[in-house]
Structure 1
């Protein structure tokens, strides 16, 4: 039995379904991210766990105890919001102590816990400052300390980094993950940022139109997407339309070339059209390694991304992106050039709707 269980969860507003047939088990101490675009149901699902929303159908259990009928303040949940939601008239330490005060903890106990939490988030020296005297990153650390002070069974983070600049986001997400691992607290992290989810999660739930399209480790989500939505939403890749050549041999035709793919074509017939995915890092201008296939096309664009250079190649009117490392000694492709991109058939993935 999982520590946090969501079973057959549905949420409708009137006749409009927002979350549909959602099932998930999270183990104690696990860090799980809900990833998806706006309106996919990830925040609504989080709010149902917190008690801000009530499921239309299904059960939510924490450590075997059903939560559906419990109010938010009756659940042992810590929550960090996108907007820091700090009390402006309270100092950082007073904000952290608020939940402890509500729970009736003594001043001595509260002071001890607040001190520990402020030290945990590295803000002991700013304990007496008010929110307006703190940076956005510091305010979010205070919000995190406040959520952790009550020693919750589950920590919920609702896009807590989206209001911060890119550099602060990276450092703070690493801090959040380190603190979560140190405390061993079961955590759900909601984000629309795929890099955030991939970098800090034990598992990712990719949500689409109220469904969990795929649940898996970052490695599985990125390298083995099960649906076209997951394939196109997580990371950058090219979707290539291919024609089935010989189903029994798992061969397809792309750009006039016959290519063997690793996955079974199942019930597909010769002449059927299928969609294949290819990550940009799988292609190369070099034939080194196991790149037994190549496609020829015209360079449509070249984008300098710092450590890599991304080139868009047009093959039979289909765009195909590939990355090469930025080497100052090697001239990148030029728009208008006709070039060959090499790859392994093992890197091609069948993607289904």
Structure 2
């Protein structure tokens, strides 16, 4: 059942429209991420859900109640900001209790809830500290505890991990996801980090220039991008130009070499140019067996990336990158060496926008 229903949402600042007819239905307890580059409108949508920005058009409904024109205090929404936004003159306990005091809860209830939240974020002994005495990761845990202390219907997270270093970011995102599952809070998470979105979410909304380019599970968005933008933004991808030979049967040519896509090429005729996408991890060396395509080229560069070695191969006018596991006992081709690449037909995707 739909818990958050957003319809035809639009936001303009003067003559500039930054969100265009955005629509999304979020289920109760679902974790949805808005993923996109800076300036794509994802935080603006989050702020409209919270009530910090007024929608220019459209509607927002939470659990059957329309909240489009309600002030933030009238919406049961918790929000965690990128910059923590803790009160520096308040202790950790006072920060967590702030929303409860505004809601005029009793002292005993507040004390019990603060203690519960500190246990929940695994920081039971820091109630008397001030924000400046905490690490960045601890401050963000406290900000999260403050947001959920009031038992919100919806939890909104605006790039809460971007200011943290890599190891803490990975650890904290796992904690946030685990906590969200345990509490069952419907959550919307804004990020420009594709790894965060793919690893944490039930569904991902890929945003571009104020519009949702694609909405789907992490598996769908990564493996079956619908547009060139999604294909290039989510993960590392080979974007190639191909010529249609036989649209109905999916026959294409890449740099003069015929390949066969798994599906028909809709809306195209022989001789048309299309954009195709191919993940580096889907490409291997060797001649193609049945059900696979092959391309021939010359190794242009070999890059060591730790667990993975990325090899760039020049075809005629285009390049293809492939990822191989770093196995010391396995010889990899050197720059200048001719190679044959192969891949499954299902991995060759014809994408829109090219």
State the TM-score bracket (shorter-chain normalisation): over 0.9
Structure 2 equivalent of residue 145 of structure 1: 145
CA offsets 1:294-350 (integer angstroms, 9 cap, x no match)? 211122222211111011111122121110000011233322222111111221001
Match of 2:173 in 1: 173
CA distance in 1, matches of 2:195, 2:291: 27
Which residue in the other structure is 1:258 paired with? Answer: 258
Extract unaligned runs of 5+ from structure 1: none
TM-score normalised by length of structure 2: 0.97
Determine if contact 1:290/1:344 at 8 Å carries over to the other structure.
no
Normalization by structure 1: what TM-score? 0.97
Which residue in the other structure is 2:115 paired with? 115
Deviation digits for residues 271-311 of structure 1, max 9, x if unmatched?
A: 11111100001001145876632211122222211111011
- 2:187 corresponds to: 187
Q: Over aligned residue pairs, what C-alpha RMSD do you find?
A: 1.3
Alignment of 1:64-143 (within 5 A): 64-143=64-143
The 3-state SS of whatever aligns with 1:89 is: coil
How many residue pairs match? The answer is 353
Tell me if structure 2 keeps the 8 A contact 1:290–1:343.
Answer: no
The range that moved more, 328-337 or 341-350, is: 328-337
Which residue of structure 1 lines up, in the alignment, with residue 301 of structure 2? 301
1:237 Cα deviation after fit: 0.6
For the residue of structure 1 that corresponds to 2:248, the secondary structure is helix
CA contact (8 A) 2:255 2:317 kept: no
Q: Which runs of 5+ in 2 are unaligned?
A: none
C-alpha distance in 1 between matches for 2:46 and 2:267: 39
Aligned ranges 1:310-329 → 2 under 5 Å = 310-329=310-329
The answer on whether the counterparts of 1:291 and 1:342 sit within 8 Å (CA) in structure 2 is: no
1:30 correspondence with 2:30: yes
Shift of 1:130: 1.1
Q: In 2, Cα distance between the equivalents of 1:82 and 1:278?
A: 34
Structure-1 separation of matches of 2:14 and 2:66: 25
Q: Look up the SS of the partner of 1:350 in the other structure.
A: strand
Tell whether the 8 Å contact from 1:222 to 1:235 is kept in structure 2 after alignment: yes
Q: 1:248 Cα deviation (Å)?
A: 2.8
Contact conserved, 2:288 with 2:343, CA < 8 A, in 1?
no
Q: Distance in 2 between matches of 1:197 and 1:303?
A: 26
1:2 Cα deviation from its structure 2 partner: 1.1
SS in 1 for 2:333: coil
Q: In structure 2, how many angstroms separate the alpha carbons of the residues matched to 1:208 and 1:63?
A: 28
Whether the 8 Å CA contact 1:154–1:187 is kept in 2: the answer is yes
Q: Secondary structure at the match of 1:330?
A: coil
SS in 1 for 2:125: helix
* Partner residue, 2:211: 211
Deviation at 1:264, TM superposition (A): 1.3
Rounded Cα–Cα distance in structure 1 between residues aligned with 2:291 and 2:282: 9
- Closer, same or farther: CA 288–110 of 1 in aligned 2, 3 Å: farther
Which residue number in structure 2 is paired with residue 341 of structure 1? 341
CA contact (8 A) 2:33 2:190 kept: yes
Greater shift in the superposed pair: 115-124 or 310-319:
310-319
Q: Establish whether residue 42 from structure 1 lines up as the match of residue 38 from structure 2.
A: no
C-alpha separation between the residues in 1 aligned to 2:329 and 2:148?
A: 51
SS in 1 for 2:112: helix
- Structure 1 stretch 122-131 or stretch 197-206: which is displaced more? 122-131
Deviation of 1:126 (Å): 1.7
2:4 aligned with 1:4: yes
Residues 33 and 204, structure 1, Cα contact 8 Å, conserved in 2: yes
In 1, Cα distance between the equivalents of 2:168 and 2:36? 22
